[in-house]
Structure 1
Amino acid sequence: MKGDALDPKALIAEAYRIEGISLEECRSIFLDWALSLPEGTDEQAALAALLARHGVSGHPMTRVMSDGRSPAAPRRRGGRAARRN
């Protein structure tokens, strides 16, 4: 299957076609998708467009892509690393 500029390897489209796909499998596919984007691609814009195109409510790939759109909260560093300047 041939992809397009948003989904060069058609990974996201294929994930929506797989029946019974798990959240972990979707995360793996998402990582492969992110690594296959051409340099200079606006990932957030691509995710928004792919969600508009494929976003099926309740599908694990929709959840993974939605999570990818929200920035990760900074994590508190504990232990010795937190006390060192």
Structure 2
Amino acid sequence: MERDPLDHKGLIREAYRIDGITAPECRSIFLDWALSLPGDQDQTGAITTLLERYRAGNEEHPMTGVLQDGLLTVGRPRRRGGWKSRQRE
């Protein structure tokens, strides 16, 4: 079986196959998937492709919602907390 370059561990594919999977479980799987992407991988493109692949017939699946949420937050700047945010130049 050939490995999928966007889901080389098969995490997203398997999440869609698990009966009764919950949104928190899907978020955990998504995080593992996202951390395993190569650094030069276009995250937005990867998530979009996975949504196109799995959304049809799975509109109510929790992983579909997690992927859609991931698409909305990719590249959004985050507030830096802790001591670094309080340092003056």
TM-score (normalised: structure 2)? 0.77
- The one-letter code matched in structure 2 to 1:49 is T
How big is each residue's C-alpha offset from its partner over 1:50-77, in whole Å with a ceiling of 9 and x where there is no partner? 00001110000000000000135867x9
Structure 1: runs of 5 or more not aligned: 78-83
Identical residues among aligned pairs (%): 53
Distance apart, 1:38 and its partner CA = 1.4
The SS at the match of 2:38 is: coil
Give unpaired runs (5+ residues) of structure 2.
Answer: 82-86
Query: How far apart in 1 are the matches of 2:3 and 2:53?
Result: 13
1 CA distance for matches of 2:36 and 2:78?
Answer: 26
Cα distance per residue 1:8-41 (max 9 Å; x no partner) = 1010000000000000000000000001111200
Return the offset for 1:3.
3.4
In structure 2, the residue matched to 1:25 is 25
Change (3 A) 1:73 1:5: same
Partners of 1:3 and 1:24 in 2: CA distance: 26
> Is 2:47 aligned against 1:35?
no
CA RMSD of aligned residues (A): 2.1
Runs of 4+ in 1 over 4 A off after TM superposition: 72-75
TM-score, normalised by the number of residues in structure 1: 0.80
- Please name the residue that 1:70 is paired with: 72
Aligned residues: 78
